[in-house]
């Protein structure tokens, strides 16, 4: 597989440290609010990466942290702890909101078919690991204590800005938001490993440490949790592009200072989901969630498809119009799959199966080109082969795509009501799967009018339904109906 590596700024062949095994680390959510669909774009693309690696036969161990302490309002160590802010907003304890939003996050993931990582570790579980790392980093001379806090000294590194080819506006996110200056820092980019005196007054969770009672900085948690579960070498580290600087830059600085050798080989960054008014952000407070999309009648998997239709290294603009296009595509795909009928006498044509699978692998193996992988789904539907082979191929692809193609198409098939008229088969299909006999009968009457060449009556019925917000589409052998939005 070829992957773009943010560290080398090149597309590279992926070669894991240990043949056949992949150690994968993913920055998890800061659980002070619901995940927005921008965050979830990142998790969807990471899920596709993980599933594709498994599909290729790798044994993958994936670890994710849950940030429940230490992430300040600005990624550059300024402002209030996001968790404390969230707890105040909701008049609850930090641990209560952490649990609530962690559960909400995994519920969103479930709806989007995002697999739960093998290990999910809250940051507050690993305090002894961070203390051990910080002690070693201090002993090795890469950190200093100032004003009671422990800081990483970035001037000790030969190269600090490892992801420097990213655009300035991507890199500067954390820094721009923080206007306060921390006078304890020796260098502008030094960052906090352990807080004691500053930002302390209303910090909810504190632990004893060699430097006094306090709490860890945000960056140390990912290094600590990764090494606890994946050891001293990591194959792929993932996150959204805003994490590249300062978070991942700092993770590399402290991990390699601690280990004394290279830590992670491949860095996978997902570009942002934006709205027309800019980047979607949790801290701005106004954002779109999966539940909101559901309340507007969208299947969460429509959003997954929407994400898969574009490349993870391009920023993506969200609009309801774009989402409606993805919805129409999903419905069309499902109805085409629902129309496939494997006959008992058919068998899977292995040659065709492998040919189609080859196209799919070629797409995803080339830096996870998911939109071409969706094209491979269309190619399969069009391919001159039997339906049993098509269904087997689609089932195979869906292990990575996670669109429930076969299950949803089957459900659609069962929901399609077959009404037999005097002139053969005529299907009335509800696009949403809603059952409504009255509407079905109206449609049937319109069909009868058309059969009798009474087009005036047929049009009258269509108009009457339209006035009630019911839209009809004539399809070969029947009519589809849906409620206008």
Enumerate binding residues for ligand AMP (CB under 6 A). Answer: 27, 29-30, 38-39, 41-42, 67, 239-240, 242-243, 270, 272-273, 279-280, 282
Residue with smaller CB distance to ligand AMP, 143 or 293: 293
User: Which of the listed partners (Zn ion, ligand AMP, none) does 272 bind, with a CB threshold of 5 to 8 Å by partner kind?
Assistant: ligand AMP
Looking at 222, 238, 302, 439, which residue binds Zn ion (CB under 5 A)?
A: 222
Residue with smaller CB distance to ligand AMP, 142 or 266: 266
Q: 353 CB contacts (<8 Å, ≥6 apart)?
A: 389, 392, 393, 396
# of chain residues touching Zn ion (CB under 5 A)? 2
Per-residue DSSP letters for 127-162?
HHHHHHHHHHHHHTTSEEEETTEEEE-GGGSS---T
- Work out how close the CB of 239 gets to ligand AMP at its nearest, in angstroms, rounded to a whole number: 4
- Work out how close the CB of 271 gets to ligand AMP at its nearest, in angstroms, rounded to a whole number: 7
User: Which of the listed partners (Zn ion, ligand AMP, none) does 282 bind, with a CB threshold of 5 to 8 Å by partner kind?
Assistant: ligand AMP
User: Which of the listed partners (ligand AMP, Zn ion, none) does 222 bind, with a CB threshold of 5 to 8 Å by partner kind?
Assistant: Zn ion
Residue with smaller CB distance to ligand AMP, 272 or 304: 272
Residue with smaller CB distance to Zn ion, 63 or 393: 63
Q: 120 CB contacts (<8 Å, ≥6 apart)?
A: 28, 63, 64, 65, 66
Q: 337 CB contacts (<8 Å, ≥6 apart)?
A: 381, 391, 394, 405, 406, 409
User: Which of the listed partners (Zn ion, ligand AMP, none) does 478 bind, with a CB threshold of 5 to 8 Å by partner kind?
Assistant: none
Residue with smaller CB distance to ligand AMP, 67 or 198: 67
H or E element, residue 444: helix 437-451
Q: Which of 313, 285, 314, 288 is nearest to 300 (CA)?
A: 288
User: Which of the listed partners (Zn ion, ligand AMP, none) does 131 bind, with a CB threshold of 5 to 8 Å by partner kind?
Assistant: none
Residue 309 contacts residue 370 (beta carbons within 8 Å): yes
Q: Does the footprint of Zn ion cover residue 27 (CB under 5 A)?
A: yes
Residue with smaller CB distance to ligand AMP, 125 or 315: 315
Residue 284 contacts residue 9 (beta carbons within 8 Å): no
CA atoms within 13 A on the CB side of 199: 29
Structure tokens belonging to residue 159: 């190269």
Residue 182 contacts residue 78 (beta carbons within 8 Å): yes
User: Which of the listed partners (ligand AMP, Zn ion, none) does 70 bind, with a CB threshold of 5 to 8 Å by partner kind?
Assistant: none
Q: 17 CB contacts (<8 Å, ≥6 apart)?
A: 23, 233, 235, 265
Q: Does the footprint of Zn ion cover residue 127 (CB under 5 A)?
A: no
CA atoms within 13 A on the CB side of 445: 14
Residue with smaller CB distance to ligand AMP, 316 or 374: 316
- Work out how close the CB of 451 gets to ligand AMP at its nearest, in angstroms, rounded to a whole number: 52
Residues 141, 163, 172, CA angle at the centre, nearest 5°?
A: 95
Phi, psi of 295 (to 5 degrees): -65, -20
H or E element, residue 10: strand 10-13
Give the interface segment with Zn ion, choosing from 23-31, 117-125, 302-310, 453-461 (CB under 5 A). 23-31
Q: Within 268-307, which residues bind Zn ion (CB under 5 A)?
A: none
- Work out how close the CB of 325 gets to ligand AMP at its nearest, in angstroms, rounded to a whole number: 20
Q: Which residue is nearest to ligand AMP (CB)?
A: 240
- Work out how close the CB of 454 gets to ligand AMP at its nearest, in angstroms, rounded to a whole number: 54
Q: How far apart are CA 195 and CA 198, in angstroms?
A: 7
- Work out how close the CB of 311 gets to ligand AMP at its nearest, in angstroms, rounded to a whole number: 13
DSSP 241: G
- Work out how close the CB of 136 gets to ligand AMP at its nearest, in angstroms, rounded to a whole number: 26
- Work out how close the CB of 35 gets to ligand AMP at its nearest, in angstroms, rounded to a whole number: 6
- Work out how close the CB of 275 gets to ligand AMP at its nearest, in angstroms, rounded to a whole number: 9
With the C-alpha atoms ordered 86, 90, 91, 96, is the resulting torsion angle positive or negative? negative
- Work out how close the CB of 190 gets to ligand AMP at its nearest, in angstroms, rounded to a whole number: 22
Q: Does the footprint of Zn ion cover residue 234 (CB under 5 A)?
A: no
Pairing of strands 478-483, 119-122: unpaired
- Work out how close the CB of 193 gets to ligand AMP at its nearest, in angstroms, rounded to a whole number: 19
User: Which of the listed partners (Zn ion, ligand AMP, none) does 398 bind, with a CB threshold of 5 to 8 Å by partner kind?
Assistant: none
Residue with smaller CB distance to ligand AMP, 251 or 398: 251
Residue with smaller CB distance to ligand AMP, 62 or 282: 282
User: Which of the listed partners (Zn ion, ligand AMP, none) does 29 bind, with a CB threshold of 5 to 8 Å by partner kind?
Assistant: ligand AMP
Residue with smaller CB distance to ligand AMP, 30 or 265: 30
Q: Does the footprint of Zn ion cover residue 443 (CB under 5 A)?
A: no
21 three-state secondary structure: strand
Q: 149 CB contacts (<8 Å, ≥6 apart)?
A: 184, 192, 194, 195, 196, 197, 198, 211, 214
User: Which of the listed partners (Zn ion, ligand AMP, none) does 240 bind, with a CB threshold of 5 to 8 Å by partner kind?
Assistant: ligand AMP
Q: How far apart are CA 230 and CA 59, in angstroms?
A: 13
Q: How far apart are CA 318 and CA 280, in angstroms?
A: 9
For Zn ion, the binding residues (CB under 5 A) are 27, 222
């Amino acid at each position: 597989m070829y992957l773009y590596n943010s560290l080398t700024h090149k597309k590279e062949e992926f070669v894991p440290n240990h043949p056949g095994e992949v150690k994968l680390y993913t920055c998890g959510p800061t659980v002070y609010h619901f995940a927005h669909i921008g965050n979830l774009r990142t998790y969807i693309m990471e899920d596709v990466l993980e599933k594709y690696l498994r599909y290729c036969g790798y044994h993958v161990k994936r670890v994710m942290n849950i940030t429940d302490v230490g992430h300040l309002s600005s990624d550059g160590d300024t402002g209030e702890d996001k968790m404390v802010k969230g707890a105040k907003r909701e008049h609850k304890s930090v641990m209560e909101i952490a649990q609530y939003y962690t559960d909400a996050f995994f519920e969103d993931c479930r709806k989007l078919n995002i697999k739960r990582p093998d290990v999910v570790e809250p940051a507050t579980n690993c305090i002894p690991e961070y203390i051990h790392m910080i002690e070693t980093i201090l002993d090795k001379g890469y950190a200093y204590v100032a004003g009671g806090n422990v800081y990483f000294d970035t001037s000790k590194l030969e190269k600090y800005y490892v992801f420097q080819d990213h655009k300035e506006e991507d890199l500067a996110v954390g820094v721009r938001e923080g206007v306060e200056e921390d006078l304890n820092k020796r260098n502008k980019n030094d960052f906090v490993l352990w807080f004691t005196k500053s930002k302390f007054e209303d910090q909810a969770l504190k632990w004893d440490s060699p430097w006094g009672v306090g709490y860890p900085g945000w960056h140390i948690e990912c290094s600590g949790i990764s090494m606890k579960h994946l050891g001293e070498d990591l194959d792929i580290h993932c996150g959204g592009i805003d994490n590249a600087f300062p978070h991942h830059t700092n993770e590399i600085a402290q991990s390699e200072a601690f280990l004394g050798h290279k830590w992670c080989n491949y860095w996978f960054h997902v570009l942002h989901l934006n709205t027309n008014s800019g980047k979607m952000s949790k801290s701005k407070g106004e954002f779109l969630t999966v539940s909101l999309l559901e309340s507007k009648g969208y299947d969460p998997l429509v959003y997954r498809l929407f994400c898969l239709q574009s490349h993870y290294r391009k920023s993506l603009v969200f609009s309801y119009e774009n989402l409606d296009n993805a919805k129409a595509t999903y419905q069309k795909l499902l109805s085409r799959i629902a129309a496939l009928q494997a006959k008992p006498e058919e068998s899977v044509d292995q040659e065709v199966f492998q040919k189609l699978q080859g196209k799919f692998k070629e797409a995803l193996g080339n830096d996870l080109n998911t939109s071409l992988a969706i094209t491979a789904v269309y190619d399969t539907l069009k391919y001159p082969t039997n339906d049993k082979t098509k269904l087997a191929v689609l089932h195979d692809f869906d292990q990575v795509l996670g669109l429930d193609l076969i299950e949803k198409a089957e459900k659609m098939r069962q929901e399609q009501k077959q009404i037999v008229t005097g002139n053969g088969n005529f299907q009335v299909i509800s696009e949403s799967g809603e059952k409504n006999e009255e509407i079905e009968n109206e449609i049937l009457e319109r069909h009868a009018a058309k059969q009798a060449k009474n087009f005036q009556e047929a049009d009258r019925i269509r108009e009457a339904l339209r006035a009630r917000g019911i839209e009809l589409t004539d399809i070969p052998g029947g009519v589809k109906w849906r409620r206008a939005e």
